[in-house]
Amino acid sequence: MIFSVHVEVRLRPGIADPQGSTVERALPTLGFDGVSGVRVGKSIRFTIEAPDEATAQAEVADLCQRFLTNPVIEDAAVEVQAGAPVGAAS
Amino acid sequence: MVEAVSLVGGQAEVLWHGDPTVKGVDVVVVPGGFAHGDYLRPGAIARFSPVMTAVTEMARSGGLLVGVCNGFQVLTEAGLLPGALQKNRGLKFLCATVGLRVERTDTALTRDVAVGTELQIPINHFEGNFTCNLETLAELRAEDRIVFRYVDNPNGSVDDIAGICSAEGNVVGLMPHPERASSALLGSEDGLPLLRSLVG
């Protein structure tokens, strides 16, 4: 079975994010007020083949832990959906 | 790195990332660079190079291993050294000669260098900000595993840490480039004592 996966890699709470701070500091100059807590992460998308969703989830969790994130400073929010991604060529 | 090692009388053998063994060398140095374009995270892909299996085995059996800059990043990604290297606090790529203080002797790089020695060594990095949690920092301090500190912290590294070693002391990682301070032509010879310790 094909599964579409979206992994959002985030800096763990408490880890400094100079990119986020820089973006946040620039916003008032651009006319955007009231924005705070800016954190910049990464979005990684892929498809994975697995016999069932539980296996797909487990493999993706392993992939995140071992490679897509550095657990010292990052964690991941994962979405796994059955089927090919919307808009992808069949 | 090969030039610098040869300069102090060492015999350098270049290992390819695909090599299955470390060819019986006495010390492995993972040098600086931009392996895999620093894609995903610096060192994140290079740590899975085939040769890293042999390098890890050597390090775990007490062999000498040094990581410089991108090499340090590879070693933290590989779990051979704790912590992680993040983007510099000022979000600028740093290309400068900085003051480094030796905090611990008797490692592969500091065997013949006294604690407190200050050296002028170049840094060239965007992700040199050493980060670790409080427990790791306490452990590093308690076990005397901080090998180098910046005299004037350029990148926001916790506790001004420029280089650390493993619990057994046989693995050392640092962001500055001692091999780029190996000749008056390069602007500083302060890296020579570190390279001599490596080769000695």
Count up the domains in chain A and report the number. 1
Query: Hey, is the C-beta of A77 within 8 angstroms of any chain B C-beta?
Result: no
Q: What is the ipTM of this complex?
A: 0.85
| C-beta atoms of B132 and A67 within 8 A | no
Residue A27 placed within a domain: yes
Name the domain count of chain B. Answer: 1
Q: How far apart are CA B161 and CA A50, in angstroms?
A: 44
- Chain A: residue whose CA lies nearest to B40: A68
**Tokens 């010390």, residue?**
B27
- pLDDT for position A81: 96
The pair phi, psi for residue B19, each rounded to 5°, is -65, 140
Nearest CB partner across the interface for A67, out of B44, B83, B88: B44
A18 in any annotated domain: yes
In the sheet with A74-82, reading across from the earlier edge strand, the strands are A42-49, A2-11, A74-82
* Residue span of the structural domain in which A29 resides: 2-82
Query: Which CATH number is B22's domain given?
Result: 3.40.50.880
Tens digit of each residue's pLDDT (9 = 90 or more) over B14-39: 999 999 999 999 999 999 999 999 99
Report the CATH number that the domain containing residue A37 is assigned in CATH. Answer: 3.30.1280.10
Q: Please judge whether B91 and A22 are an interchain contact, meaning their C-beta atoms are less than 8 angstroms apart.
A: yes
SS3 category, B43: coil
Say if A88 falls within a structural domain: no
Question: Which residue among A16, A18, A70 places its CB closest to the CB of B77?
Answer: A70
Q: Do A70 and B91 touch (CB under 8 A)?
A: no
Does some domain include residue A90? no
The mean predicted confidence, pLDDT, of chain B is 96
Q: What is the pLDDT of residues B121-143, one digit of tens each?
A: 999 999 999 999 999 999 999 99
In a domain, residue A87? The reply is: no
Name the residue range of residue B68's domain. Answer: 2-199
Judge whether A89 lies within some domain. no
Catalytic residues of B: 69, 177, 179
Q: What is the pLDDT of residue A88?
A: 58
By the CB < 8 Å criterion, does A72 face chain B? yes
Per-residue model confidence as pLDDT tens for chain A (90 residues): 999 999 999 999 999 999 999 999 999 999 999 999 999 999 999 999 999 999 999 999 999 999 999 999 999 999 999 999 876 555
Q: Which residues of B touch A16 (CB under 8 A)?
A: 86, 89, 131, 156
How far is C-alpha B187 from the geometric centre of its chain's CA atoms?
20
CB contact under 8 A, B84 and A19: no
Report CA-CA distances (Å) from B195 to A88, B86, B95, B128, B151: 54, 26, 21, 21, 20
> In chain A, what residues touch B82 (CB-CB under 8 Å)?
72
What pLDDT does residue A85 have?
85
* Ranges A54-58, B170-174, B184-188: which has the least confidence: B184-188
pLDDT in tens, B39-74: 999 999 999 999 999 999 999 999 999 999 999 999
